[in-house]
Structure 1
């Protein structure tokens, strides 16, 4: 495995993405895990603006400043891991390791649990609705059919 190629610039990659958009091979183009400085760098040279930034975002990692910067630039935000990653495990591949350690579980947050009782919803539904109310798109992950259906029942939460 070799290291990253630093000769390739984010703005050069974006120009290639603009070509795909201009050929109508994509309806929108965006980025993933970009910070505010990286988005601003693209924004300053872009013919086609960044449409979306997909980032990890949940109750304990709210990324407020990044979300505000995206909104200023009219970049929508999509949250992956919107209910946190309570089951996340350390990843070890050969000599490379990514250790996450113990983290708080948003599903067990005291305020979330209180709201589940008040509204008769699941903790996941409360957390998803919270992000939707912040005008953030969500991509909840589940392989459980019941939970998948529950994830769509957040709009009727009054």
Structure 2
């Protein structure tokens, strides 16, 4: 089928070639071209279903890894709020401080700036954060 779609007509198979290929697929059995095409479509559909299922399983595995990492790094209540997409309610924890930041007007700033200006702004801002963090006994997770 892919050969039939070729941009170059010289690369496309002739009808005799196609007929021969169908004959080899059918292994000499008598069947119509439509039957052969239906069988091929069924096989393609089945293969596609298998591929979708495999990719879905991979996605689920990655989601589980992400959730496990999140729950290892953050307190349970914070991790749940982040997963749910809700506001994280401030809480007190003896061993950790979690800081979430928002740059007020960032959407407008970035709309009015060149891409490299936005990159430079963020780089400067987080370099300042890093300098403050380095002067204290803290561990930063980006």
Shorter-chain TM range is under 0.3
TM-score under structure 2 normalisation? Answer: 0.24
TM-score under structure 1 normalisation? Answer: 0.22
Q: Which has a greater percent of strand?
A: 1
Larger RCO: Structure 1 or Structure 2 (Cα < 8 Å, ≥ 6 residues apart)? 1
